[in-house]
């Protein structure tokens, strides 16, 4: 897809693949969808891939010698290869399909953590972690006697790397860090964190839910031991996520769920396990979703991940600058030219939920609440925030619509 004079992406051509963006909402307002950090929309080629599976070769995988099962199995296995390559992995043996990023976190926590952690071990998180990692490792620590620690953030929303260097020690078993904060937009130096962790014999799990959809990721360059992301945030369907794991770690780990296809052999007394990734995909897996997610990867790579990143960075900086032109707006996190495609903010005198409701009346869809980062909001000293998040199909005009709707909210709440 060719870039235009307006930027690195031909946005109008992209938007043509997303009929939902032509909707009118709130009684006749054009939809301005700025809730992409929660979930993205799905282009026609991905929808077609789902329909094609169900119309032409719907069948279970790894279970039949008939033609439909063979076609489905090949497409599903090829999807693993494509998703592994998408983040710099070697092949399907390093790519497990899960339900979402949350399940990927739980898989590692319970398949690896319950067996490897004990009293005296430490799991180091960041203060900006999503509940999917924070709560999960809290529970595993409670069961194993391990301790959870949190790397603090600086006043301007960056990770305190001096504190990280002090906190990650020889007692650290695992570091879990978001690649990009879904609240602050902070892009964390996960490669540097990986180096520190590995210097102390620890592993690193990177939550890439906000990063993999928006920029080129290379797990080998990062040297991530585990890297997780979700399909529904990167133009794919709901119900599928991805867990990259280094080959030797996945081979050593025990299964997370038990049932069909994850076994090698079963007797009435015992069972042995299939090879990765299949030993972590018990039962009928996410066949249609996996095939469709591979199509989403094709769509993203046809546009170009560097072009997507450049487009989002320009939109985010523009939104940051426009929202901070008045003194009554607090934006959380780093400056507008140094963040992912997320802008969380509050307007003086207007609760985030009220602001979101008013914006909806003008067709502008944003997120309001704690964004599954309650402890981070406690650290920020606010109960909630409004969050606008951008993707490849958003435009400067939509940012202007956001700012105009915020101004209308000001008028409503003016004394």
Q: How confident is the model at residue 94 (pLDDT cuts 50, 70, 90)?
A: very high
Cα atoms in the Cβ-side hemisphere of radius 13 Å centred on 379: 20
Q: How confident is the model at residue 415 (pLDDT cuts 50, 70, 90)?
A: confident
Which two structure tokens, joined as six digits, stand for 282? 């018990």
Cα atoms in the Cβ-side hemisphere of radius 13 Å centred on 200: 24
* DSSP single-letter state for residue 317: H
Report the alpha-carbon distance of residue 9 to residue 391 in Å, rounded.
11
What are the residue ranges spanned by the domains of the chain?
A: 11-36+304-413, 47-301
Give the E-state strand segments of 320-407 in sequence order: 329-332, 342-347, 364-365, 367-369, 385-389
Which of the following is catalytic: 307, 314, 372, 382? 372
Per CATH, the number for 11-36+304-413 is 3.90.1150.10
* DSSP single-letter state for residue 24: E
Nearest Cα to 296, choosing from 58, 50, 95? 50
Supply the pTM of this predicted model: 0.96
* DSSP single-letter state for residue 190: H
Query: How many residues can be counted in the chain?
Result: 415
In order of 5, 341, 372, the CA distances from 10 in angstroms are 9, 18, 33
Nearest Cα to 311, choosing from 1, 2, 6, 13? 6
Annotated active-site residue 242? The verdict is: no
Report the alpha-carbon distance of residue 259 to residue 257 in Å, rounded.
7
pLDDT for the residue numbered 4: 42
Residue 388 scores a pLDDT above 90? yes
Which two structure tokens, joined as six digits, stand for 255? 């299964």
Residue 254 scores a pLDDT above 80? yes
Which two structure tokens, joined as six digits, stand for 222? 């990062």
Residue 256 scores a pLDDT above 90? no
What's the whole-number average pLDDT of the chain?
96
> Is the Cβ–Cβ distance between 112 and 360 less than 8 Å?
no
Report the alpha-carbon distance of residue 385 to residue 378 in Å, rounded.
11
Token pair 């369907």: residue: 237
Report the alpha-carbon distance of residue 285 to residue 115 in Å, rounded.
25
CATH 3.40.640.10, applies to 47-301:
yes
| Bridge partners, 174 (sequence order) | 123, 203
Residue 377 scores a pLDDT above 90? yes
pLDDT for the residue numbered 64: 84
The stretch 114-136 carries a mean pLDDT of 97
Give tens-digit pLDDT for 175-230: 999 999 999 999 999 999 999 999 999 999 999 999 999 999 999 999 999 999 99
3 state DSSP class of 249: helix
CB count within 10 Å of CB 397 equals 11
Give tens-digit pLDDT for 278-314: 999 999 999 999 999 999 999 999 999 999 999 999 9
CA angle 55/56/62 to nearest 5° reads: 115
Give tens-digit pLDDT for 15-46: 999 999 999 999 999 999 999 999 999 999 99
pLDDT for the residue numbered 63: 83
Report the alpha-carbon distance of residue 197 to residue 401 in Å, rounded.
44
pLDDT for the residue numbered 274: 93
């Amino acid at each position: 897809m060719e870039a235009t004079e307006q930027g690195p992406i031909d946005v109008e051509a992209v938007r043509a693949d997303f009929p939902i963006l032509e909707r009118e909402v709130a009684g006749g307002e054009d939809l301005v969808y700025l809730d992409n950090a929660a979930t993205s929309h799905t282009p026609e080629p991905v929808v077609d891939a789902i329909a094609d599976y169900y119309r032409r070769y719907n069948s279970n995988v790894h279970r039949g010698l008939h033609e439909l099962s063979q076609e489905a199995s090949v497409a599903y296995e090829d999807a693993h290869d494509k998703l592994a390559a998408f983040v710099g992995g070697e092949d399907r043996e390093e790519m497990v399909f899960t339900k979402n990023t949350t399940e990927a976190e739980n898989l590692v926590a319970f398949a690896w953590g319950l067996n490897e952690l004990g009293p005296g071990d430490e799991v180091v998180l960041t203060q900006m972690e999503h509940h999917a990692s924070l709560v999960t490792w809290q529970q595993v620590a409670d069961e194993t006697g391990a301790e959870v620690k949190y790397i603090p953030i600086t006043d301007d929303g960056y990770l305190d790397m001096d504190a990280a260097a002090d906190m990650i020690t020889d007692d650290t078993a695992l570091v879990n860090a978001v690649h990009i904060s879904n609240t602050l937009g902070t892009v964390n130096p996960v490669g540097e964190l990986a180096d520190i962790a590995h210097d102390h014999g620890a592993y690193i799990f990177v939550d890439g839910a906000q990063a993999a959809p928006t920029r080129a990721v290379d797990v080998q360059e990062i040297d991530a031991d585990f890297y997780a992301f979700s399909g529904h945030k990167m133009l794919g369907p709901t119900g599928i996520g991805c867990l990259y794991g280094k080959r030797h770690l996945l081979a050593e780990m025990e299964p997370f769920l038990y049932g069909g296809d994850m076994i090698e052999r079963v007797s009435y007394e015992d069972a042995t396990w299939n090879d990765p990734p299949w030993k972590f995909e018990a039962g009928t897996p996410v066949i249609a979703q996996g095939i469709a997610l591979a199509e989403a990867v094709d769509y993203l790579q046809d546009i170009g991940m560097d072009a997507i990143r450049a487009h989002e960075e320009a939109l985010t900086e523009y939104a940051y600058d426009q929202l901070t032109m008045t003194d009554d707006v607090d934006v959380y996190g780093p400056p507008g030219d140094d963040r992912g495609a997320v802008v969380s903010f509050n307007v003086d005198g207007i609760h985030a939920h009220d602001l979101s409701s008013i914006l909806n009346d003008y067709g502008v869809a944003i997120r309001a609440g704690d964004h599954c980062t309650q402890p981070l909001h406690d650290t920020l000293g606010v109960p909630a925030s409004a969050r606008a998040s951008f993707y490849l199909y958003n435009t400067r005009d939509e940012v202007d619509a956001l700012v105009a709707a915020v101004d209308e909210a000001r008028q409503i709440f003016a004394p």
